[in-house]
Amino acid sequence: MAEHTTTRYEEIASYLRELVAELHPGDLLPSETELSKQFGVSRMTARHAVQTLERDHLVHRRKGIGTFVSPQPVPRLLGSPLSFTQSMRRRGMQASSDVLELGYITPSDEDAAALEISPDTRVGVIERLRSVDGVPMAIERAVLGPSSASVLEDLGKGSLHVAFEEIGLTPSRARARVTARAATDRERDLLELDENAVVLCERRVIFDQNGTPLEHTETRYAADRYVFDVVMYRDEGARRT
């Protein structure tokens, strides 16, 4: 019995792999119910086949909607000052945003330190759900210092960095670090992730052409939809051993 079940789910998985090869990212795949009827198996067997493709990052499920062909993991250069929109455009992808929070706040101690301001300084904040070709990819929360917070008044869904440049501030350098952790309930809901999903958290400070901090940003990426590239250089001043 076990051998028969294994053979059937592998057959379904092979069928799905062929479909994925023919379809495009974001295309809808047959549901578990449709697969179980098509192959004459239980929904559990069909689910096992779908999970096999999920582990290989070929498909992803959106809770209550269905299973979709996944885009290939999007590369991002760690610490790059490029905005999300600019980074996606360079790869021929269409970026879009949904605003989750917009306004002015008192900064946290971490925000104040990163922006090199006093803790009682009013700062701007914008949190957005960032999508690529319709697929939710990341939740980005940017805290803006006094020199740049004014861009929020007319920003809407446009590029934050383009808005900076329109007031004479050029994002020129970035410092970043990345950690990984389990996704929260809110992150799973917004990014349409499974129960045990992981997010990559990038904290980044971006400086303008004069070395003044423009923004302190935390971006939480769906881990299976992103890959970070890192460029490293040899320190010629390091002691040789």
CA proximity to 16, closest of 26, 2, 30, 27:
30
Per-residue pLDDT, 93: 63
Q: Taking 90 as the threshold, does the pLDDT of residue 147 lie above it?
A: no
Supply the DSSP string of 69-121, one letter for each residue: EPPPPEEEETT----HHHHHHHTT--EEEEEEEEEEEPPPHHHHHHHT--TTS
Tell me the two tokens of residue 26. 């974001």
Compute the C-alpha angle 128/183/43, nearest 5°.
Answer: 110
- pLDDT-derived band at 12 (thresholds 50, 70, 90) equals very high
Q: Is 4 helix (H, G, I), strand (E, B) or coil?
A: helix
Q: Taking 70 as the threshold, does the pLDDT of residue 84 lie above it?
A: no
Q: What percent of the chain has pLDDT over 90?
A: 45
In the predicted model, what is the mean pLDDT of the chain? 84
Question: Torsion-angle region of residue 41: left (phi > 0), alpha (psi -120 to 50) or beta?
Answer: beta
Domain with CATH 3.40.1410.10 in the chain: 74-229
Per-residue pLDDT, 31: 93
CATH number of 2-69: 1.10.10.10
Q: Which amino acid is at 170?
A: T
Q: Taking 90 as the threshold, does the pLDDT of residue 71 lie above it?
A: no
Per-residue pLDDT, 237: 58
- Taken in order 54, 58, 62, 67, is the CA torsion positive or negative? negative
| CATH architecture of the domain with range 74-229 | 3-Layer(aba) Sandwich (3.40)
Burial of 171 (0-12, 13-18, 19+ CB in 10 A): buried
Compute the C-alpha angle 153/128/185, nearest 5°.
Answer: 145
Q: Is 214 helix (H, G, I), strand (E, B) or coil?
A: strand
CA proximity to 88, closest of 130, 127, 129:
130
Per-residue pLDDT, 69: 87
Q: Taking 70 as the threshold, does the pLDDT of residue 232 lie above it?
A: no
Higher pLDDT, 7 or 125: 125
Domain with CATH 1.10.10.10 in the chain: 2-69
pLDDT in tens, 149-193: 888 887 766 778 888 988 999 988 888 898 999 999 999 999 988
Q: Taking 80 as the threshold, does the pLDDT of residue 1 lie above it?
A: no
Per-residue pLDDT, 234: 67
Q: Taking 90 as the threshold, does the pLDDT of residue 21 lie above it?
A: no
Cα separation, 201 vs 223, in Å, equals 9
Give the global pTM. Answer: 0.66
- Taken in order 115, 117, 118, 120, is the CA torsion positive or negative? negative
Supply the DSSP string of 27-62, one letter for each residue: PBPPPHHHHHHHHT--HHHHHHHHHHHHHTTSEEEE
